[in-house]
Amino acid sequence: MKIEPCATALANTGTVIAVRGGVVDVVFDAGPLPEIEHVLSVDWDGEAALVLEVQSHLDPRTVRTVALQNTYGLSRGTGVTATGGPLTVPVGDTVLGRLLDVTGAIRDDGRPLAPDTPRQPIHRRAPKLVVRDKPSALLETGIKVIDLLAPLAQGGKAAMFGGAGVGKTVLVMELIHAMAQNYHGISVFAGIGERSREGHELLSDMQHSGMLAKTALVFGQMNEPSGARWRVALSALTIAEYFRDVRKQDVLLLMDNVFRFVQAGAEVSGLLGRLPSRVGYQPTLATEVAALQERIASVDGVAVTAIEAVYVPADDFTDPAVAAISAHVESQIVLSRTMAAEGMYPAIDPLASTSALLTAAVVGDRHYRIAEQVRATITRYQELQDIIALLGMDELGAVDRKVVDRARKLQRFLTQPFAVTEAFTGKPGCSVTREQTLAGCEAILSGQCDAWDEGSLYMTGTLEQARAREQAAQNPPSAP
C-alpha cells in the first residue's frame, strides 16, 4: 500500500540515517519537521510498503520514528517522504467482510478497495463528557454466569481478565457467536498480537456463522513489529467511530488481547530509549491506556460496546497494566485457573467478577436479590472448604451441609457448553436467556433441587434440561 503525501508535504523529503530494529532516525535537509504522530513513507524497493510514525524530534533537523512494518532490508541513505498527516485507514461499508492490517491494507487476498473509499486518521480526541451517554441497557449474552453476576452494558466496556490457558479467547469467540444471533449492529474485531492460527480460526468461524458480512477484522499479528501491534487497536477503533459518528449505527468492538497493546507500547518505549516505569512498563502506561479506552464511548444515542480480553501475566492481578485497564471498564469478568483445573467452564470466578450494572435500579430487585444470594452461598462454601478438607462433610452442621450442597449445585449450573467448542467436547452449545438463568438459580437456592445429583446440573443449559437429565438418570431404560 502506497501512502500518498499531501500537496503541502511534497517538497519535504528526508534520508534515513539510523535503523535500530523498529526505530528509524530520519534527517531532513529543508522544510519544517513533520509533527509528532505524522507518518513518513519510505521510498524503497522492498516487497511491501514501509510506513514510519514520528515519535520525537531529536534536533531541528532529525526525527525519531517507529516503523509499522518490518524494516528488514532498510539501509541508511534511503529516501523518505513526509505525508503531511497522521496514518489514515479506510472506513465505511467497503471494509465490512474484509481483513485489514494496521495501515488499512487488505490482507485477505480479496479484491482491492475502491480508490474513492473514505479514510480517517487513527489519532483523534475522545468525545467530551457532556456529549456522552451513560450506559444502562443490558446486553444479554446467553452465557449464564455473565448475565447473572457480571451483566454487560450496551455502550459500555467489559474486560475478561485471565492468565494463559484459562479460556479468554474461547470466551471471546463464544461471545462473537452469540452476538451473531442476537446482535444486529456492526462489529469490528481488533486482533492485537494474535497468533496466525487464532486469526485464521476466527475468520473461518465468522464466515460459517454469517457474521462476517457485518464485521471488519483488523489484525496486528504476533510476528509483526511492535509498532504495528501498538497501533492496530487505534485503527480498529477508528473504523468503529466512523459507523458511530457518521452512519449513526451501533457498533460492537471486540479486542483480543489488550495486554499485548500495552506490551507493544513497552517495547516501543524501550526502543525509543525511555526510562522504564514500574515492573519495566513504559512511563506513559496510564496515558496510552486512557487514550485508547476513553475513545470507546456512546454519543447521541449511538453505542460503541467494547468487549476486551486481557492477559494477566503470571496470574498477578496487581500488575500495573491490568490495574490501568480495569480502571476504565464497567464489567470485569475474571477467569480462574482453579476453576479451569476443576473443569468448570466457562472458568469465570463468580466472586471476583463484578459489574457496575449489578444494582437493583438497573437489573431489577429480583435479579439483584438472586445474584447476592448466589454469591453469599458460594462464599460460605469457600469459607468451609478448609474444614471439609481436614475433617470431612460429616463434621458440619445441618445448615452448613445444605449450604455446601447448594453451592456445589450452583457452581455446576453456571457451567454450560459452548458452540465454538462443540468439535472438541461433542456437546452442542446452548444459549440461556437471563430469565431462564434466574429461574434456575432461584430453584436451586430454594431447595427444589436438593435431592438431585449435582452431575445433572453440570454442563447443561436451562433447569428444564437438567431436570430431564436427572429423570433419565433415575429411570434408566430397562435392558432388553
> Is 194 labeled as catalytic in the residue annotation?
yes
Q: Cβ neighbours of residue 146 under 8 Å, at least 6 residues apart? A: 152, 333, 346, 348, 353
> Is 2 labeled as catalytic in the residue annotation?
no
Model pLDDT for residues 194-228, shown as the tens digit of each residue: 888 878 888 887 777 677 888 899 999 998 999 99
Confidence check: pLDDT of 455 > 90: yes
* H helix runs in 158-294, sequence order: 168-182, 196-209, 226-245, 258-271, 285-293
Residue 29 CA to residue 433 CA, distance in Å, equals: 65
- For the entire predicted model, the pTM comes to 0.90
- How much of the chain exceeds pLDDT 90, in percent? 70
C-alpha cell at 265: 507500547
Residue 365 CA to residue 440 CA, distance in Å, equals: 17
Confidence check: pLDDT of 474 > 90: no
Among the options 76, 195, 248, 278, which is catalytic?
195
For residues 306-331, average pLDDT: 94
Confidence check: pLDDT of 235 > 90: yes
Q: Cβ neighbours of residue 216 under 8 Å, at least 6 residues apart? A: 95, 96, 97, 98, 100, 186, 187, 188, 189, 236, 239
Among the options 194, 198, 308, 330, which is catalytic?
194
pLDDT the model gives residue 169: 83
pLDDT the model gives residue 7: 43
Is the bond into 320 cis (omega within 30 degrees of 0)? no
125 phi and psi angles, rounded to 5 deg: -80, 150
Is 292:234 a contact under the CB 8 Å cutoff?
yes
- Using CA atoms, how far residue 282 sits from 125, 142, 250, 431, in Å, is 22, 38, 34, 41
- Using CA atoms, how far residue 141 sits from 174, 333, 343, 344, 419, in Å, is 9, 13, 21, 18, 13
pLDDT the model gives residue 476: 76
pLDDT the model gives residue 198: 79
pLDDT the model gives residue 154: 86
At 173, the pLDDT band (50, 70, 90 cuts) reads confident
For residues 429-442, average pLDDT: 95
Among the options 64, 144, 157, 168, which is catalytic?
168
Amino acid at position 127, single letter: P
Model pLDDT for residues 404-424, shown as the tens digit of each residue: 999 999 999 999 999 888 878
Identify which of 359, 346, 254, 260 has the alpha carbon closest to the alpha carbon of residue 296. 254
Tracing cell 479514510 back to the chain, one arrives at 119
Confidence check: pLDDT of 182 > 80: no
Q: For helices 226-245 and 285-293, what crossing angle results, to 10°?
A: 30
> Is 128 labeled as catalytic in the residue annotation?
no
pLDDT the model gives residue 9: 44
Is the bond into 257 cis (omega within 30 degrees of 0)? yes
Model pLDDT for residues 1-50, shown as the tens digit of each residue: 555 555 444 458 999 999 998 999 999 988 889 999 999 999 988 778 89
